[in-house]
Amino acid sequence: MYLKRLKDLREDNDLTQETISKLLKITRPQYSLYETGKRDIPVDLLRVLAKFYETSIDYIVGDTDKTDRYPEIKPKKKYL
Q: Please write the tens of the pLDDT for every residue from 39-52.
A: 999 999 999 999 99
User: Residues 53-58: contacts with CB within 8 Å, 24+ apart?
Assistant: 53/9, 53/13, 55/9
Query: Any idea how long the chain is?
Result: 80
Please enumerate in sequence order all residues whose Cβ is within 8 A of that of 40, keeping only pairs 6 or more positions apart, or say none.
1, 34
Q: Is the pLDDT of residue 73 over 70?
A: no
Distance CA 19, CA 72 (A): 26
The pTM assigned to this predicted structure is 0.81
Domains of the chain with bracketed CATH: 4-61 (1.10.260.40)
Tens digits of per-residue pLDDT, 7-33?
999 999 999 999 999 999 999 999 999
User: Higher model confidence: residue 50 or residue 75?
Assistant: 50
